[in-house]
């Protein structure tokens, strides 16, 4: 899968958003908190799991590193305030299309 196709799948199709990244103290794991807006989290988990080797290879290439940390993806649900803002933005977008 090409990088542009991976980007399309994550950003455009799923609405994938990284909320934060934290490293384990020994730098062997990267904990990535994420959310999606265009698909269910369970559907996204399947896609993420399938794409993880490709993502890890891309990170290694970008860093010119022989090895990179294990990627641990954790779904991070929106706060109530963020959900309300999301609902408002979707309503505005809907009204602008009319």
Higher pLDDT, 90 or 38: 38
Per residue in 39-89, pLDDT (tens digit) is: 999 999 999 999 999 999 999 999 999 889 999 999 987 677 877 887 888
What does the domain layout of the chain look like in residue ranges? Answer: 3-97
Pairing label, strands 29-35, 17-23: antiparallel
Model confidence at 33, pLDDT cuts 50, 70, 90, reads very high
Full-model pTM: 0.72
Q: Would you tell me which CATH number, out of the four given (3.30.300.20, 3.40.50.10300, 3.90.400.10, 3.30.365.10), belongs to the domain 3-97? A: 3.30.300.20
Give every CB contact of residue 37 below 8 A, 6+ residues apart in sequence. 14, 15, 17, 86
CA-CA distance, 91 to 94, in Å (whole number)?
A: 5
């Amino acid at each position: 899968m090409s990088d542009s196709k991976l980007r399309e799948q994550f950003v455009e199709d799923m609405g994938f958003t990284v909320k934060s990244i934290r490293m384990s103290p020994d730098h062997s794991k990267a904990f990535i908190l994420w959310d999606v807006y265009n698909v269910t989290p369970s559907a996204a988990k399947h896609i993420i799991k399938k794409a993880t080797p490709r993502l890890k290879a891309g990170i290694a290439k970008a860093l010119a590193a022989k090895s990179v940390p294990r990627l641990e993806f954790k779904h991070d649900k929106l706060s109530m305030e963020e959900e309300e803002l999301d609902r408002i933005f979707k309503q505005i977008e809907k009204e602008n299309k009319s």
